[in-house]
Structure 1
């Protein structure tokens, strides 16, 4: 991964917090390109999205879009200790509109993973007129379940004081890989060897060094604050359907993801005519393990929103560009059907409404 095309961070001051935005692309072309705002998961930072955008499958999108990578306060590499009250997920979501205002951007596609997807949902709930569509990877719209709650209750005693205990690190590993047990992760990789191309296995070996890398790069006190904020998330599953009734949405999850049940809950609450749910087989971390699949899904969502119409879908023949937007939208269902075989995904809802 290279950051050569990523500009230095720009501080955005919101009502509740100040956060850094890393712009990937030329802002002078913002009125002629699609703007995509990204928010990362707990245990990562903006670089997880830079890595994804720099993947070969995103090359055409990268040429046609500008990315605003939001870094949650204090999550930069080797960041100083965060001082003051750490914002809630809802407060961060409400403050994301300030980034659009600062960079003079009217509307965007909003893209989040994990805790970041939760924040993106709250952004959409607070400022629906500024968002064309949302991409939610491993999104949770409910509070922690009873098992998760009991585990978090013990961990939170230390997290609230800015301490990452061994239990907190294990919880973070489970959040990422569905298990904190090394033997289970070894078994997971062994299974991958039997189901996936061995040449691609290097992509998944990061699971062994994930926690070690975090401990060496992220400020543990700041990480604990983001993790604590995520653990104290509130439920918005009962309101998301009505408030985002007219917004195109893509929900993505790995079949082995730890929070897959909450993704189903989120999907159940949303307008099925405007929402697509994609489950990627045999993976836990979609962004790292199946970037090609995610790139195809992202492009389809954007085409449904009327943007990135000239971008080809990786692995598919280039679609002939049509002059009538409504006709282009109507071709998306057949495109998804073709994409199904190439992506090795389950499509639980594939309805796209013409705009």
Structure 2
């Protein structure tokens, strides 16, 4: 991205209840085989890590089945899906790479209790029905020790702070020599990527300008930029104590459900709520999660401001997304107040949808997809569908209808083209 000033676009997406029929979410399409379904419907304390891996592997198989079923829409080279372990000052970090590396890079960072696959797979599964993945290569960055197959860290391991996680992002960007990137973060990941944009702003101005010059855009979901309050601090202290002492427990699972969904679980998709609760109950590395939570609990406020007096001015286009049921609605509004109004357009989109889940990537992927595509289109990306006559940008409404029709018909209407879905 050039050094010329950019206009800042901030979209605050609220999901509010309505009587409309819910649209099938991407996660609802995951059908489990007979031997795996009891693990999801009736989880038991004896369910071990091997069974958790089996469930996740089966989800991955369903994902591949789904993608092959819509191959008439979009041909994906599965040889382009790869993983790398990148050396950082905190050890090796797993990066999952999806797409052609010659395409424009998009980096992602995940939220608490999740890794990059569990946080973003379902959303990119939804989006990839369109030609989105032909334009971007996605680099999913995992926080140390948070992936499913990670080894448990010893007690002596010095887990990175939030600023350290931002440093990891910088190391990954440098490792792959990414000169221009779009950054997409959820929850804690949104905090990390926003922190990356203004990292060491007072100590090294040149570094700050370099990071911001590399960022074409920031897409932030449920972003919090302030330090933890006393109530959050107390809850997190309890989580850390239980995770280190007894492993996964009801208190921490309930906290993670609140963190991702908010209090109105009854208004969210029952299948998604059930599957995430099972996933959290059987996380394989509770001690690693405790370290991640401790870093987030001890976070400092991110130094950004409108006038530059109390922090850096963010000269990067920003898209903020939050569900009405998210516990972080006010925090996202607070982030917006710290953006320079002379460089920003704040759009509050009140969307009449059937639920108010805070986990918008899974529960309302069509809303997030439409917002992201329109946002990137305004920045000069997503110029697809060159038809008989020159069309500079896609018809987003037609694209969304196509995506939803294919989503609702996948693994059903096109089941003749695959052996089993």
TM-score normalized with structure 1 length: 0.75
1:137-195 deviations in Å (ceiling 9; x for gaps): 0000012234323323433444577954432222111101113xxxx63x324xxxxxx
Match of 2:85 in 1: 11
Q: Distance in 1 between matches of 2:306 and 2:287?
A: 32
Q: The residue matched to 2:322 in structure 1 has which SS?
A: strand
Is structure 2 residue 220 aligned with structure 1 residue 128? no
Alignment length, in residue pairs? 304
Q: Distance in 2 between matches of 1:241 and 1:219?
A: 43
Q: How large is the Cα RMSD of the aligned pairs?
A: 3.2
Match of 1:43 in 2: 113
Q: The residue matched to 1:205 in structure 2 has which SS?
A: helix
Q: Distance in 1 between matches of 2:166 and 2:318?
A: 17
After TM superposition, give the deviation of residue 97 of structure 1 in Å: 2.0
1:25-81 deviations in Å (ceiling 9; x for gaps): 122xx2xx2211011111111112122112146622111110001111111113210
Contact residue 256 and residue 280 of structure 2 kept, 8 A: no
Contact residue 80 and residue 100 of structure 2 kept, 8 A: no
Match of 1:54 in 2: 125
Q: The residue matched to 2:227 in structure 1 has which SS?
A: coil
Match of 1:168 in 2: 252
Contact residue 21 and residue 68 of structure 1 kept, 8 A: yes
Q: Distance in 1 between matches of 2:127 and 2:179?
A: 28
Q: CA 1:87 to 1:160, structure 2 compared with 1: closer, same or farther past 3 Å?
A: farther
Alignment of 1:131-210 (within 5 A): 131-158=215-242, 163-179=247-263, 185=265, 187-189=266-268, 201=269, 204-210=270-276
Match of 2:289 in 1: 223
Q: CA 1:116 to 1:320, structure 2 compared with 1: closer, same or farther past 3 Å?
A: farther
Is structure 2 residue 332 aligned with structure 1 residue 263? yes
Q: CA 1:277 to 1:141, structure 2 compared with 1: closer, same or farther past 3 Å?
A: farther
1:275-306 deviations in Å (ceiling 9; x for gaps): 54555563321101111111111122222333
Is structure 2 residue 279 aligned with structure 1 residue 213? yes
Q: Distance in 1 between matches of 2:123 and 2:88?
A: 27
Contact residue 236 and residue 293 of structure 2 kept, 8 A: no
Q: Distance in 2 between matches of 1:128 and 1:304?
A: 19
Q: Distance in 2 between matches of 1:124 and 1:68?
A: 17
Bigger RCO (CA 8 Å, 6+ sep)? 2
After TM superposition, give the deviation of residue 307 of structure 1 in Å: 2.5
Q: CA 1:157 to 1:240, structure 2 compared with 1: closer, same or farther past 3 Å?
A: farther
Match of 1:249 in 2: 318
Q: Distance in 1 between matches of 2:218 and 2:301?
A: 18
Match of 1:346 in 2: none
Is structure 2 residue 286 aligned with structure 1 residue 286? no
Larger Rg: 2
1:283-333 deviations in Å (ceiling 9; x for gaps): 321101111111111122222333233379xxxx999644xxxxx8xxx9x
Is structure 2 residue 159 aligned with structure 1 residue 86? yes
After TM superposition, give the deviation of residue 106 of structure 1 in Å: 0.7
After TM superposition, give the deviation of residue 93 of structure 1 in Å: 1.0
Contact residue 164 and residue 224 of structure 1 kept, 8 A: no
Contact residue 57 and residue 291 of structure 1 kept, 8 A: no
In structure 2, the gaps of 5 or more residues are: 1-59, 65-77, 200-210, 402-421
1:94-127 deviations in Å (ceiling 9; x for gaps): 2212222222221100000010100110111132
In structure 1, the gaps of 5 or more residues are: 190-200, 323-327, 343-355
Of residues 101, 111, 114, the one that matches 2:187 is 114
Q: Distance in 1 between matches of 2:287 and 2:304?
A: 33
Q: CA 1:238 to 1:246, structure 2 compared with 1: closer, same or farther past 3 Å?
A: closer
Q: Distance in 1 between matches of 2:218 and 2:129?
A: 17
Q: Distance in 2 between matches of 1:75 and 1:188?
A: 29
Q: Distance in 2 between matches of 1:215 and 1:240?
A: 42
